Structure 1
Amino acid sequence: MDANSPLLFFDSGVGGLSVLEPTRALLPNAPIVYVADNAGYPYGKRSEAEIASRVPALLGRLVERFRPRLAVIACNTASTIALDHVRSALDLPVVGTVPAIKPAAELSKTRVIGVLGTEATVRQPYVDNLAAEFASDCAIIRHGSPELVDLAEAKLAGEDVAVEAVRAAVLPMFDAPGGDRIDVGVLACTHFPLLRQELGQAFPGIQWIDGGPGIARRIAWLTREQPWPMRSSDGLMIFTAEPRSPMLGALAHYGVGEVRTL
């Protein structure tokens, strides 16, 4: 294993930064290539067939180009639809993003859990399977919010995001039958932890959890015996279309020092 072989992160936009950040904390010297498929954004509004075709094809090109030691699909929508396709197509470990329903069930006192994701994610049978396996004694209330994805992208681009806009995007989940008893909310889209502060202000008393820290631990475990460079380096971020210019300055917080367009 070449010590300079990178970790490859993949998302439709900047949401996967919420997975990159805890990974950086555990593996500070890991070389990073982060790919934002903003030409295909937003995945949540695309059909399952489109995602199942697009994601493996794009990742195949990226793996051939960058020779990563491991790929991370840091996108719930892409993971729930295309993870098996990607794993069968690539000859390297692939880590997906799983809605944090299991830890939510361990935390919930009311046994009513909200699952907040994209429209594509919340309708997947994969979510049903997770709920049946890990939260069979809980009521699961789902809400797909494309507006929240856009708000997260806007926030990273330096735009002001009003708490009331976040509240309006999420409120239907709490207005659903039984929604007033939700005490734990699963952020089943990697974009949504970027709005954790606004969500906390909009819905005080709700515990919001996401899978980012767990995914980071999984990456660290899979690479535990592999060599790393002696010192850290700036990560490379690749967009599949021209990014918003104001966004580039915000990427330094995540250790990104170089940006390219594919």
Structure 2
Amino acid sequence: MTELRQRMNDAMVLRGLADRTRESYIACVLGLAKHYRPPPDQLDAKAIQAYLLHLITEKKLAYASVNQAACAFRFLFGTVLGREAARFDIPMSKVPKRLPRVLARDEIVRLFAQCRTLRDRTLLETVYAAGLRLSEVCALELPDIESAPDRSCIKVRQGKGGKDRYTILSPHLLESLRLYWRTYRPRRWVFPNRAGDGPLFVQTAQRMYRAACDAAGLANTAGIHTLRHSFATHLLEAGVDLHSIQRLLGHGHISTTMRYLHLAQGRLTGTPSPLELLPLH
């Protein structure tokens, strides 16, 4: 790591930025450095804006990825290098608002049935049953599964934003986890990597999900995060209130959870049309 990137990393550590945020910001600065010959601290706002345009028009990156790069550059120039914000007025791209993909209940059943191994199925069941993020399920450790009858839950350590929380441990999932443990005998992490000396790589978990989707004939299912969206939507359809779902998901704002109102089919299909309320007959 160059001296500049080390300074940036140290500044992020001091401000308590999450590990994945630091990794993403450093990767954005590294991409900038590879694109231009001069080091990033010698670039001006015009060069930064040209690079962001390059990411959109030539790299074809999603606007969310471009926004992340813009945030990384703001942090580098504004916080690390101490340059005036007015000199680096980097516009943020407007991210198109799209509803996330949600699997129907029968699709979830088909997905689990087509998992290649018991480990694959147990991991995907855990994501869906507890509403976990990909990084959260990979980082689970055995003590995080609290199975006492009077305290049955899963502890999520240092989720998004560096926050701990508790989420559901269903009896069915607990049975699956116990069968999985008897078969594989993990020692520290619930889902360790192949060497057993660390947590499962997120790319490996994504491949498990994609392989199961392909075997089940499920198209346009995006990534494994679809199971988390399905968890929230199915709870809402079952009558669970938004604030409880917000806490289970670890959302900082209720507005983030409210988007699942648009996905709950039961609430939509069960709503009468105003035409039915008119005295037409």
Larger RCO, structures 1/2 (Cα 8 Å, 6+ apart): 1
Higher percent of residues as strand: 1
Using structure 2 for the length normalisation, give the TM-score: 0.21
Using structure 1 for the length normalisation, give the TM-score: 0.22
Of structures 1 and 2, the larger Rg is shown by 2
